[in-house]
Amino acid sequence: MVQDRIIKTEYSEVMQKSYIDYAMSVIVARALPDVRDGLKPVQRRVLYDMHELGIRSDRPYRKCARIVGDTMGKYHPHGDSSIYDALVVMAQEFKKGLPLVDGHGNFGNIEGDGAAAMRYTEARLQKITEEAFLADLDKDVVDFVPNFDETEKEPSVLPVKVPNLLINGSEGIAVGMATSIPPHNLGEVIDAVKAYMNDNNITTRELMRYMKGPDFPTGGIVINKDELAEIYETGVGKVKLRGKVEIEKGKGGKTNVVITEIPYTMIGMGIGKFLSDVAALAETKKTQDIVDIMNQSSKEGIRIVIELRRDADVQNFINMLYKKTRLEDTFGVNMLAISHGRPETLGLKAIIRECVEFQFEVATRKYTNLLEKEQEKKEIQEGLIKACNVIDLVIEILRGSKDRPMAKACLVDGKTEGIKFRSKASLAMAAQLRFTEKQANAILEMRLYKLIGLELQALIKDHEETMANIYRYEDILDRRDSMAQVIVQELESFKKSYGRKRKTVIENGEAAVFEEKKIEEMDVVFLMDRFGYCRTVDSATYERNKEAADAENRFVFTCKNTGRVCLFTAGGQLHTLKVMDVPFGKFRDKGVPVDNISNFNIEKENLIYATSQTELNLYRVLFVTKQSMVKIVDGGEFDVMKRTVASTKLLEGDEVLSVEPFIDQKSVVLQSRDGYFLRFAVEEISAMKKAAVGTKGMKLSEGDEVEAVYYTRAGVEQTIEYKGKKMELGKLKSGARAGKGVKVRV
């Protein structure tokens, strides 16, 4: 029955187990590199597939689409974009200290432009990838496992002969964890490995005599040298980076600040962001030293030129770049990798130890395999030499035998039944033959030219070489020192062939200190039109154009250029913006949309009132909502630095209708949509905090709401127009707060 096969279990337990399985799958099978070869599964599969396709460094390039398709079909069924992205990164010299793929075509650039589509680009393996990553795969040095559909076999790890995890670094985001390992100099890493192999008790600080610190492909300067030892000890920390800056003489006595190397973290869109940040420093008057900014970067390298004024304080300007832009940045280090099948945060020494142990494991399997093959060769060679010594007897056996099995039985076991011999002596000698199976097969397949004297001498020479190889391989396998010597020799050859000078400078840099020039405080007039475009002008310009300014703009008020502007919305939000962020210029300048320089959304929010923060501090503020909630709030509560805060608390479905500073108002007049007017003294409105809802201002009928708010002042007659007729507010009967008011019939 079906009911007998139903398994009842707790839903939360199923979800927990499923999520853990999913998380571990992402961690181990996709996002994190293996400490042994320093590769993620997708990278390993791409390289192995290229090896299988024969796309070597000395052969023509092949289309990346072919490589990606073959990899996806055989080994990595997770989509072509992830495979192509991995292939592209392994070919980008500005991302990898040691590129593993030789790319041909547009593989992107350091400024963030992506690679061309895979149907246009081509690739092949780098020579070092063949020599240090894929060599010896045919010698049973690593385990092969079934692919996703068990139709192919793939290596569980590549037999990498250098600590690739340190040389190329790695970045990846898994579930609940992430890895971030900086790249290092190949020569220095090899020197550190050799030092560890000479002394397994070496400390991390001693290893750093050989491996100074990260060596980024983009160069730059690491400025926290003293903190690196702690980072490499724990595997976690922050590397502080700076770009390389040079000072050149410009035209007309001006000075050019030239950035020739950038922090590794600026790869991609970071350069464009840096240029916009420098431009923003000039636009916001943080500095007035900048004359021009030019990005002259090319394939030859980075070159960003900032032209300064003649009297500029160059060092102070450079320090400002370090403080205000990403020219000084941090690289977060978290050396997390898969070790023995599980994720683990490893220090420098632990990574080197794991890589060295892996080298010994690979070397053991390699030389065991080679020894077995040499021993097989030895057996056959000895059989052929022995056969050559009794070649006449062998020929007599072959001629006298009826078939191959009869001849083989005689060679192996000395069985002479059925074989015709010329003499009894030959029969007696044949009965004593004891060749092995392999030797007998080799003798039966031997060609006659092997009997030539020179060929026999060559056979003897090959046998001597085979014996020498057997002795060497047995020595390597029996003595760890001999195996270590072989590993070190390979490492030295890689260093000699592929080592390069360090690009990144390691030092203890001084903290960037710059004196920010104080802005001269002055009064400006803030103008915002009905479309939300705002600007500031000086007071004299406003006075000359006062009539036009008041007529064309929705909000006009005076404020300090160092102050802030407050924007109150119908939704009860208060948005603030710095006056310095508002363009200052001529009266007819268009300005910028207010939502470009603040959190205010002109499409979704309704702006009720705008004023300067300084003015709010001088007064209390009157609030009125559509549901007739009123209150007075001290203006100091709106003296905030946050870009957005709640200006008041609203009931469900309510909106702010009016916000106004309380200066000399005597009474407030509320007009409802149904035509009721209520006039009462402002003193009846309670003072509350901005987080309060307020008190009832007017009693409203069901479905009615406050439509307009008016204020009267002593000695001032105020007339409004209501449904085409004029009304004097001062003549309205004065009532009490929370009253119904009087209905005005027109």
pLDDT at 4: 66
Q: Which of the two residues, 106 and 284, has the higher pLDDT score? A: 106
In the predicted structure, residue 440 carries a pLDDT above the cut 70 = yes
In the predicted structure, residue 313 carries a pLDDT above the cut 50 = yes
In the predicted structure, residue 19 carries a pLDDT above the cut 80 = no
Q: What is the mean pLDDT of residues 242-267?
A: 90
Over residues 181-228, the pLDDT tens digits come to 999 999 999 999 999 999 999 999 999 999 999 999 999 999 999 999
In the predicted structure, residue 2 carries a pLDDT above the cut 60 = no
Q: How many CB atoms lie within 10 A of CB 464?
A: 11
R_g (Cα) of the chain, nearest Å? 42
Alpha carbon distance 490, 161 (integer Å)? 8
Q: Which residues of 378-391 are buried (b: 16+ CB within 10 A; e: fewer)?
A: bbbbbbbebbbeeb
Over residues 600-628, the pLDDT tens digits come to 998 889 999 999 998 898 899 999 999 99
Q: What is the 3-state secondary structure (H, E, C) of 11-69?
A: HHHHHHHHHHHHHHHHHHHHHCCECCCCCCHHHHHHHHHHHHHCCCCCCCCEEHHHHHH
Q: How many CB atoms lie within 10 A of CB 417?
A: 7
Q: Determine the angle formed by the axes of helices 41-53 and 80-91, rounding to 10 degrees.
A: 80
Q: pLDDT band for position 26 (50/70/90)?
A: low
Q: Which of 19, 22, 120, 471 is catalytic?
A: 120
Q: pLDDT band for position 1 (50/70/90)?
A: very low
**∠ CA 36-37-43, rounded to 5°:** 140
Q: What is the mean pLDDT of residues 347-369?
A: 95
Report whether 156 contacts 143 (CB < 8 A): yes
Alpha carbon distance 359, 363 (integer Å)? 6
Q: What is the mean pLDDT of residues 496-518?
A: 83
pLDDT at 437: 85
- For 519, the 3-state DSSP assignment is coil
In the predicted structure, residue 731 carries a pLDDT above the cut 70 = yes
In the predicted structure, residue 58 carries a pLDDT above the cut 80 = yes
Q: What is the mean pLDDT of residues 548-564?
A: 92
Q: What is the pTM (predicted TM-score) of this model?
A: 0.73
Of 137-151, 380-394, 666-680, the least confident: 380-394
In the predicted structure, residue 590 carries a pLDDT above the cut 90 = no
Q: pLDDT band for position 364 (50/70/90)?
A: very high
Over residues 441-466, the pLDDT tens digits come to 888 888 766 666 667 788 888 889 99
Active site residue 120: yes
pLDDT at 407: 86
Report whether 99 contacts 108 (CB < 8 A): no
Mean pLDDT over all residues of the chain? 90
Which backbone phi and psi does 73 adopt, to 5 degrees?
-70, -30
Q: pLDDT band for position 704 (50/70/90)?
A: very high
